Structure 1
Amino acid sequence: MPHLELLATLEGHQDRVWQASWHPTKTLLATCSGDKTVRLWKPATHNNFTEWHCVETLEGAHKRTIRSVAWSPTGNELATASFDATTGIWENDPRDNDWECVATLEGHENEIKSVSWSSTGALLATCSRDKSVWIWEVESDNDFECLSVLQEHTQDVKMVAWHPKLEILASASYDDTIKIWKEDDDDWYCADTLEGHTSTVWSLDFDAEGEQLVSASDDKTLRIWKMYKPDNEQGVITHNGEPTWKTICTLSGYHDRCIYSVSWSKVNGCIASVSGDNSIRIFEKDSDTTDPDSPNYKNTSTTKDAHGVYDINGVSWYPNETHGDWLSTVGDDGLVRIWRWVKD
């Protein structure tokens, strides 16, 4: 039977861990915590994946919890989003392998919940409890210009995620909706509002091609959305020449409590979700499904008490084929766990 095998438990944070972010090309994991630090972890040796060391602690830039951490596409920079309403940009100096906070982005009026880089690294998005999404342009010499402040959500915005190939942004909110944002003549606008969840949308992730999106909610469901372009064969109605996103699958009855985080593997196509019920669930697309507009996903693996009695705040698949069967989870217990997805 498919199952998750625990590879390593990483200890060091002094408070709950909120998020983990894998380096795009190296076996390196960044984690952020209520202890106001980011820790960078890597295996002790090239072939020993059961023992990991903290190789760097990034601290001193934020006065409150660091809620989100994200690598740039090159892996040369890290962005950190904090409850102190600032976003930090960190750079590595290869000469002495030292990390420095080279820019602090200000403007949000309240706690920042999430930060995300676009696929090219030219744009950065942040979102906040102040109900806004900010889009920043990355300029030379560590300058960042705010291109747009998007204020169409009516509540706290929990997460932002960029399309894996295009400059299209998705945001998830306490107002139970997901919004899709696009640019037109230097102005950003809401191209679609995805409605269907009945409570806070905590997390979302695109599939490898960006044609589908999975969302996780306080309503204990996962929804898979598909993008339908104008004049689509299925006859799905679109408006103003914009694609429409439509729910094609709802996964319910699996988690017993709020689903805090979801990750769609870009390597194996599996969806991983974690919850306040302390479990990790893996969903695989049923190979017998023939209708691409009505797929069936099976819960093929459940790991209960993955962080003991503690909430699991984040889950993230390894981003490339080097270790495409790896998964990280982080929890209120202050621990980071590395798992291997074993198919049989």
Structure 2
Amino acid sequence: MRLASEEDYICSLSWAKGGNYLAIGTSDCKVQLWDVYNRTRVRSLASHTSRVASLSWNDHVLTSGSRSGHIHHHDVRVADHHIFTLTGHSQEVCGLKWSPDGRYLASGGNDNLVYVWPRMQEGGTTNSVQCWSDHQGAVKALAWCPWQSGILASGGGTSDRHIRIWNVNSGSCISSLDTQSQISSLLFSPNYKELVSAHGYAHNNVVIWKYPALTRVAELKGHEDRVLSLILSPDCSTIATIAGDETIRMWKSFEVDPVKKAKERLVKSTSSVIHQSIR
């Protein structure tokens, strides 16, 4: 797959549910939709005035965040795709994540703010339900807890380095942890009810934390430059990471089978040995 111009570059990616379509945010202010299996571009969505740094799907609505600080909702089913604009961030929107139930959108920016927006109602206005300013660095890393509704994790950049867990309903910060390293990506693992964080300066590693205690369970080392992003396999057993060292690494980190999981956890609890990514 190639972009329209050799001068353009990819700023963000997001898979649609089902994995047939891929959204690409580009440096020329557009969002491209690609049919991955046929390797063809389906359409190009133009509405932003600066590069598209973040993307997140909610059913047929694709949400994009740009360097201008604006967040756009696109209904990809219709020709007039741009249906709403959210304004709040004063700098680039570098993180976007819809909650699993589609009720809330979380956004993080280079202005160090975290916003939570409600799902847009037809004909209505949309104001944020929460805005948190606790982070002291850019917020790119966002993750919703899949088994506990209304719980959001956010991670700060080099000037902050904190993971913070939020309760959207109460607006309170449940817990906070200084990781001593830039946080680039977060995800919740449902198999063990744990939180996984990817880091840049200074450790360039991946850490698995027990939730909600945020005690360290395992550290995955191997990348030689900052870890830019991570994702969990569909069966929730394997973590894939990409880093500035231009490598992609696969970490077999979680058992899927409940019986094997129980046995593995029993062995670890008695031996206290965790061998890199085998858990």
Smaller-chain TM-score range? 0.7 to 0.9
Q: Which residue of 2 aligns with 1:58?
A: 45
Query: Is residue 194–residue 246 contact of structure 1 (8 Å, CA) maintained in 2?
Result: no
Q: What is the CA–CA distance in structure 2 between the aligned matches of 1:286 and 1:141, rounded to whole Å?
A: 41
**Higher helix share goes to which structure?**
2
What is the aligned partner in structure 1 of residue 217 from structure 2?
A: 248
CA distance in 2, matches of 1:189, 1:262: 27
1:144 and 2:126 are equivalent in the alignment:
yes
| 2:215 paired with 1:224 | no
Match of 1:183?
A: 168
Contact 2:238 2:254 in 1 (8 A): no
Alignment of 1:312-323 (within 5 A): none
- The CA deviation at 1:123 is 0.7
Q: Deviations over 1:60-84 (max 9, x none)?
A: x211110111100xx2101001110
Tell which has more relative contact order, 1 or 2 (C-alpha 8 A, sep 6+): 1
Determine the C-alpha separation between the residues in 2 that align with 1:26 and 1:156: 29
Displacement, 1:132? 0.7
Q: 2 CA distance for matches of 1:13 and 1:70? A: 22
Post-superposition CA distance 1:116-162 (Å, at most 9, x none): 11111111111111111011112411642211110111121122221
C-alpha displacement at 1:31, in angstroms? 1.4
Q: What is the alpha-carbon distance in structure 1 between the residues aligned to residue 223 and residue 40 of structure 2?
A: 32
Which secondary structure does the structure 2 equivalent of 1:291 belong to?
A: helix
The residue number in structure 2 matching 1:270 is 238
- Pair 170,57 (structure 1): closer, same or farther in 2 beyond 3 Å: same
Aligned length: 259
RMSD between aligned alpha carbons?
2.2
Q: 2:34 aligns with which of 25, 33, 41?
A: 41
Q: CA deviation at 1:99?
A: 5.3
Query: Which residue does 1:135 correspond to in 2?
Result: 116
- In structure 1, which of residues 148, 158, 161 is the aligned counterpart of residue 140 of structure 2? 158
Q: 2:70 aligns with which of 61, 86, 107?
A: 86
Asked if the contact 1:13–1:33 (Cα under 8 Å) also holds between the matched residues in 2, the reply is: no
* 3-state secondary structure, aligned to 1:110: coil
- The TM-score with structure 2 as length reference comes to 0.85
Q: Percent identity?
A: 26
Q: Unpaired runs of 5+ in structure 1?
A: 1-9, 44-48, 228-242, 300-344
Name stretches of at least 5 consecutive residues in structure 2 with no aligned partner: 256-263
TM-score, structure 1 as length reference: 0.70
CA distance in 2, matches of 1:105, 1:111: 13
Query: Which of 61, 67, 80 is the equivalent residue of 1:77?
Result: 61
Query: Are the structure 2 counterparts of residues 256 and 35 from structure 1 closer, same or farther at C-alpha, using a change threshold of 3 Å?
Result: same
Distance 1:294 1:201 in 2: 26
User: 1:304-319 residue pairs with structure 2 within 5 A?
Assistant: none
